Structure 1
Amino acid sequence: MTEKEFSSIDYRFRGHDDTYHWVRHNLKLDIIEVDKPIEFIGSWIDITERKHLEEALQDSETKFRAVFDAAHDMILLLDKDANILDVNYQTAALLGYTRAELLQMNTLQHLDLPEDRPFMKKVLDDLMAGQTREYEVRWRTKGGETLYFESASAPRFSAKGEFISTISCLRDITERKHAEEVVWHSQELFSTIFQSVPAAICIVGRDNAHILRINDYMLTLLGYEREEVINGLSTDFWVTQDIRHELVSDIFEKGGIYGLEMPWRTHSGEMVNMLVSSEPIEIDGQPCTLSIAVDLTDRKRNEEAVQRSQNLFLRIFQSVPIAIMITTLREGRILNVNNHALALMGYQADEIIGKLTSEIEAWATPLRERPEVFKALAEEGVAYNIDLKLKTKLGDLRDVIVSLQTIEIEGETCLLTIAIDDTDRKQLEQARLEAEHTRMEVYREREVLELKERFIAKMSHEFRTPLQVILSSKESLEHYSDRMTAELRLEKLHNIEKQVFYATSLLDDVLLLGKAHAGKLQFNAEVMNIATFCQKLFEQIQLTDKITHHYIFSTHGNLGDVQSDAQLLQHILVNLLSNAIKYSSEGGIVQLEMCREGDEAVIRISDQGIGIPVNDQKHLFEPFYRASNTAKIKGTGLGLAIVKESVDTHGGTIACESASGQGTTFVVRLPVQPQNGKTQTES
């Protein structure tokens, strides 16, 4: 010990009676003078009683901790702000936290559900005010599960009245709560079913027949208020009351009665027929009967309505002037057939009802061989306007237009077939077509005659000029050749050759049109690179141009190979390009564009010439027809007619876009693989 320090130590003395006494020995170090001996000042205080009290308190704490941790319920000590001071083992086990984690938590913030916190704050305020509380609380476990607890809480105060903590004992009642919820839901479900089921329901005591419970449907049906019937006699509704004892015996001895039809009397005295089923039940230990009754009035009305509907259907079914047949869908068994169908087919009803349509060979082509029909039935349930041939009993074939619809009969999918006899109409149509064909033949012959007349008139005019030139040149050579120079004689011969070529070309065009009108124009298909073919021909025509024009050839994309007739394609291009050159002034643009659109090769030929008046465009492709603004320009009127026939033979189309004075564009569309063109062997 250093100077002026104090020391204190507790130890025991054993007395002469062998008992121990606790004393506290206090020592003080003191120096009287410098370099003088050190002096100790000591005192002894008897603390035996206090030590006994501390030992008792320690023992009490040990026992409390043992009870605290061994309790099956959760026990928590909280401070005034709901911070956790201590918890027992069961608390950690139920909530899923460690004790260390719980000692860092606040019940309001970490365990209580948010919607419960206002209530728990009120509980805490009551505890701080010295009250004890019993209540239910919900806490969230570490795993997120919500547990229900029944809690008893009390405040702890010191001897001086100072707040120490609250102690709360919580018992897990989660299973009980869930069971109560199941019971509640079951009761709610029963109540909902009891009130919402569209049938009369009541619960009646066995011994006194008093009504204990009745649903709204039954009250409405019978016309009573609830207060009028509760605890009244159920037999008040019965028309026949003397059978009650027998019915009650059957209910309890046989376990119930089912489907009993009996009359009831409403509040107004009206009689209603009810279909009743009853079973025994027990309510609060008392035997009762639960009865459910269905009003047969509507059902009987419905049955009568159904019967009337069926009778009406049968009257319509048999009297309508259309053949109707009902068969099973799966095998085609005939279930019903109306009188008109029997008359059409030549059968009696007992000859075909129950048989398969395949047995009587009803259809010349079985429906099973028409997949498009069954596809429509599968997807939409109906198929309309199918042309079929119906086979009669005598083997005759009748043309019919059939509509089909799937219907359900007694749970089986069936087929409603409606057939309209179209034989007479088809015969009339055939006669009309034949008459039309004859008329067209006459018209075509007349057209050929008119064409011949026009041809003779046109050819007389067209051949006169080259023949006159030839004759004049021949006479000059015959009479004056000796006076002519070699160059002049050669010029005369070239004129003769040129006129012969013109006449030959004119004759070829006429012969080509004649073949086309007679249906003898051949289509000799060959695979070609159409872009290359058109470009070469375009360049050849450009070389023959005596007047200077600007030429543009272009292709867009890869046209690929095309099946085409080279000679017919040449007719199309030569005539369209020749017209573009002929009707364009010097310096004008003549353009040929090509592209591929889907399965078509598109050829577009355009110029900046005189154009075609709108009124003339509808006659463009008629033989010998020429536009009104071309009178001063030489031409035969055969070129565009030949183009049209050549395009048609390819199975293509041609269109004109033009206006007077604004140039002309012809658009030709040819199929890449012609479907309508004639093969080389056809004529």
Structure 2
Amino acid sequence: MSESPTFAAAALPPEDLRALEAFRQSAQMTVMVGADGSVLAVSPAALAELPALEHSSAWTVFGATGADPAQLCVEAGRRGWAGGAMQLQTATGRAWFSLDVRATHDPLGGAPAYVINLSDLSTHRALEARASQSERTLQLVLKVAPVALLISDRQDGRLLFATAAASRLLALPEDAHGDVVARLYAAHADHDAMRSAIGAGDTYGPVDVEGRAFNGAALSLRISAVPCVYEGRLAIVTTLLDIDEVRRSERALQAALEHERDLNQLQRRFVSMLSHEFRVPLAVIDSSAQRMMRKAYDMSADDIRKRGVRIRAAVARLTETVDTLLEDARMAEGSLEFSPRRIDLIPLMRAIIQQQAELQLRPRIEFAHDESLKVDADPFMVEHMFANLLSNAVKYAPDSDCVWVGAGQQGDRAEIVVRDQGVGIPAGELQQICNRFFRASTSAGIPGTGLGLHLVRQLAERHGGELRLDSAAGAGTTATLSLPIHQAPR
């Protein structure tokens, strides 16, 4: 390149001198070139960044990746201006620049010339790359987000993006297109209200609407929407919440809370029952033992026998309580073994009646039965069921003369009936009487665990049978235990 002409200060008018000084001090990268690419003038900033301009044609320096500088100058000659971008070799490496080309004339000779302003695009492109990466990351995050979310074009409603959760909820096909959100609304007025709110720049919802998925399934949805810009276009972000799922969760939570309350109530009943059921027999045993220790030499044989009977009855009560608790625990955890075999109920029931009569002289027990009553049953469980029903009848009818027991076959089932004339069960409590630790209000002052009938019902159902109760307060109780004659193979 020829050396820049030396200008004598006196040869230039003041305005030109000022323009020349401004050019020299400018931080802008500016180059003036002729039509053949010769460099007519170059700013210090451009020369520092592109030192090759000092000895090479502009077309050579600019002949890298990107726009054609010669073609940009031709276009600028036609239109007065042209622009483009190219990658150039700078003093520190390769970088991208934008080119702003404007047509002018060489002030020295008047020949056509072009002023090229260059702007470094490195920072801009880095920001674009970061923005692009951020957008891809955001889309990936949204795609796997557990939220049902749709992004649609604000003008025509066309679907632009859907999360996986939204695709599952709406049964969206792979090629879903068009206004997907509009299809969700059963009522067009609801969709119009949403579009109107978004069009005014407002948020919409949450609003509960009834709609349908793409497979025709009915949906109850809670919809919210906000305006946004997505990939450079005006869009709508719509979030969807399955109200049915929310309601199911609410019902499950409510059931869990009720179960927790029931457990707390059971615990209180259990502690109350246990303290009473253990304290009374232990007090009887302790007082009888102390009496025998203090008066052993003065007590008659009949007195000792009576004390022994009281002690045995108290021990039997404790043993029954412990056995009942253990059996209930094994039943609850499914570890109580069920071993049915062919047994005759009559001898088993007669033995239990005899044991009860020895412990309790009244009321009298009448037993009416078939000559033989054979069933497929677990003898341990049957013994427990009948002993519980019989002891209840005796315990809750202490002032009656008789407890009636019957056993016979009814079709393909064996029925055991125990009837007393005791305190009975109020009608409003019959539905709860077989619940764990529940005791009728008429049983106040009478010892019991509240587990007996609960276990009888559980054991009867284990056999494929049932327990039926007919009772009224003050009118006694009739308990009917029904068991199948034959057990189906398991």
TM-score band w.r.t. shorter chain: 0.3 to 0.5
- Name the TM-score, length of structure 1 as normaliser: 0.33
Task: Indicate the structure whose relative CO is greater, using CA pairs within 8 Å and at least 6 residues apart.
Answer: 2
TM superposition score normalised by structure 2: 0.44
From the CA coordinates, give the structure whose radius of gyration is larger. Answer: 1
